Structure 1
Amino acid sequence: MTESVSLDVGGTEVPVSNPDKVFFPERGETKLDLVRYYQAVAGPLLTALGGRPLLMERYPAGAGGKSWFQKRVPKAVPEWLRTTVVSTPNGTTSDALVAADLAHIVWAVNLGCLGFHVWPYRAATPEVTDELRIDLDPSPGVSFEQVRQTAWHARELLGELGIEALLKTTGSRGLHLYVRLEPRWDGYEVRAAAVALARELERRHPDLITAQWWKEERGARVFVDFNQNAPHKTVFGAWCVRPRTGAQVSTPIGWDELDGIEPGTLTIATVPARVAEHGDPWAGADERPQSLEPLLAWSRRDLAGGLMDAPWPPVYPKQPNEPPRVAPSRAKRT
């Protein structure tokens, strides 16, 4: 095994130790193969992630090995490495990696980072959340075809409001819809919009879609996970490689591809050729920021009609107008 190589990444020398180490055993791709993948998709990758804080998911022995999430960068880092202070819901702060350029991505890959989870704001403007992220989460027993149908319904509903949605695979069993936003709202407002969207989708398609936070109430329906928009929450990044043995990629796709896409085939072995042939399906989205006002109007309507806020994740402090944070079956027993 080669001990180390030094790569010139956009004018920055980045060492890569043990480049021949197998990270993805299904086809035998190595740490260096992962670096080469990110170099191949650098343009769209940095358009999606550039300037944003990153939570690293580290697998130093490769996919399937021991792993942990790392929000705080190590103490000994290169002088050129850019970080920013991020907070947890309880106020704990950390110096997190910023996707300043491709060298920062390669530096993290060298640490065994097989997954990047991305904040919904730029490090330069943490007070502004500029992405709405709609996570279509398949409950047990839900097929990918049901997730696909839900994506179409979500796009149709957003289209009624004049809101453009972008689409990507998750690298696993679901789909993500993104909306690039005008720089006007914070994370609490974006989450409120997501709750309103989830509830309206459930009203229109109750047999297919659910906005119920408690798993016992979802049934075999697609859950629209509004809490992925809670402040300080991260979502797996576009163009990023999942820590799965097949090296699946969370891949942006065009809406015209949705009906025929097979997410498991989108890997570091296939995605670079797609990008070379078709380019970036999200190209230009930053120049077309969208308004949340129609969804926020629905949120105000729901609250005025007597609905409470939806439950928050357990790590968050109790929120105003939040219902009791306890599963319905447990509440009945109590």
Structure 2
Amino acid sequence: MAGGSRQRVSVAGRELVVTNLDKPFWPEDGLTKGDLIAYYVSVAQYLLPYLRGRPVVLTRYPHGYGDKWFYQKDAPEGLPDWIPTWPDQAEDGRVIRYMRIEEPAALAYVANLGAIELHPWLSSCNAPDQPDWAVIDLDPAEGATFQDVLVVARLVGQILGELGLTGYPKLSGATGIHIFCRAEPGTTYAETATFCELIGRLLLRAYPEKVTLERAVAKRAGKVYVDYLQNRRGQTITSVYGVRPLPGAPVSAPVTWAEVAGEPPRFTIRTLPDRLAAVGDLFAPMVNAPQDLRGAIERLKRIV
């Protein structure tokens, strides 16, 4: 996708206008807005299953990574009528019209807005109070290393194995790791948050030198923060295969537990398509494999 400042393109049978495709978005890496759009369209078949039917929040960088940015929850003015929205009443009474990204052309549309990051809810529009995923978010504080994160992630894998559960790890694309567990229909946010908090407390007991549940950032130094509070209604997390606004245009990509046991590979918008061609979607088995987190919560309560 290269060319002038404004052109009409066809994406999976849908025509739309894109602009400023040559605008540098990662100048030091020679990557443009056109490259961002092309990436999202190229991985659409892998990415869309984790966006469809969910409210999506955008992080927009109109002038590229490193420049001014803003979150966008409400659908922008001029949204094409073929991109559906979902209304939700905020705590202050406002109704927010979240976008629903359902097709490849919608990915192209939001990328054209400068949306580098895509943040889906953990629940769907059909059941907004019932999350599909519990997410154990491992975030290194200042002074902690990615090696520390890997050690903690391995402990999470061991705990899940003891509980008879399967977790699906993905690199955040920044410095952390997200471990997803598919929840049974009807599971509440209170239950997914409790599940992740109890795992965090077990990690803290096992490895207090490097694990923290401290909410105060100043008290986390040198440790890996287990952010179970991500499991709340309206909270979002960087999408599987989503791009991050960091040097090199890294991507939040699934990895195997075998890779977590060593030094997992990192991926960018340039390298992820080859990874997908080689291994496919490592998260695909999770989609149709819900797990009983309630039973795991009762077991964890007896331990913790």
Q: Normalising to structure 2: TM-score of the pair?
A: 0.93
Deviation at 1:38? 1.4
User: In the alignment, what sits opposite 2:199?
Assistant: 197
Q: Write the deviation string for residues 44-77 of structure 1: whole angstroms up to 9, x where unpaired.
A: 2112222221111010001111111010011321
1:91 is displaced (CA, Å) by 5.2
Matched, 1:109 2:111: yes
Structure 2 CA distance for aligned equivalents of residues 15 and 124 of structure 1: 31
Between 125-134 and 253-262, the greater mean CA deviation after superposition: 253-262
Deviation (angstroms), 1:101: 1.5
Secondary structure of residue in 2 paired with 1:151: helix
What corresponds to 1:327 in structure 2? none
- Number of the residue aligned with 2:278: 277
> Is the contact between residue 135 and residue 181 of structure 2 (CA under 8 Å) also seen in structure 1?
yes
> 2:122 corresponds to which letter in structure 1?
P
Cα contact 1:88–1:232 (8 A) shared by 2? no
Partner of 1:313: none
Which residue is 2:141 aligned to? 139
Structure 2 CA distance for aligned equivalents of residues 63 and 108 of structure 1:
15
**Counterpart position of 1:242:** 244
Counterpart position of 2:155: 153
1:200–1:276 Cα change, 3 Å: same
* 1:260 to 2:263 alignment: yes
Unaligned 5+ runs, structure 1: 306-334
1:125 is displaced (CA, Å) by 2.2
Instruction: Please list every run of 5 or more consecutive structure 2 residues that lacks an aligned counterpart in the other structure.
Output: none
- Which residue type is aligned with residue 113 of structure 1? A
- 1:288 matched residue in structure 2: 289
Give the Cα–Cα distance (whole angstroms) in 2 for the partners of residues 225 and 90 of structure 1.
25
Contact 1:252 1:282 in 2 (8 A): yes
Check conservation: 1:139, 1:219, Cα contact below 8 A: yes
Q: What code does the residue aligned with 1:277 have? A: A
Shift, 1:289, TM fit: 1.1
Tell me which amino acid in the other structure corresponds to 1:260. E
Moved more, 13-22 or 209-218: 209-218
Asked whether the 8 Å contact 1:196–1:298 carries over to 2, the reply is: no
Cα deviation 1:212-250 (Å, max 9, x = unaligned): 222344342211101111221111111011112311111
Partners of 2:93 and 2:242 in 1: how far apart? 28
Show CA shifts across 1:243-270 (max 9, x none).
123111111112222222243xx11111
How many percent identity over aligned positions?
34
Please tell me whether the aligned partners of residues 165 and 178 of structure 1 are also in contact (alpha carbons under 8 angstroms). yes
Measure, in 1, the Cα distance between the counterparts of 2:88 and 2:158.
Answer: 35
Which deviates further from its counterpart, 36-45 or 214-223?
214-223
- Cα deviation for residue 211 of structure 1 reads 2.0
1:128-161, Cα deviation, whole Å (9 max, x unpaired): 2111111101011101001001111001101111
Deviates more, 1:23-32 or 1:136-145: 23-32
Q: After superposition, what is the alpha-carbon deviation per residue over 1:9-67, rounded to whole angstroms, capped at 9, x for unaligned?
A: 22211221111111111211111111111122112211222222111101000111111
The equivalent of 2:56 in structure 1 is 54
Q: Which segment is superposed worse, 170-179 or 199-208?
A: 199-208
TM-score by length of 1: 0.85
RMSD of Structure 2 on Structure 1 (CA): 1.9
Q: Quote the offset at 1:117 in angstroms.
A: 1.2
Which stretch of the first structure deviates more once superposed, 23-32 or 54-63? Answer: 23-32
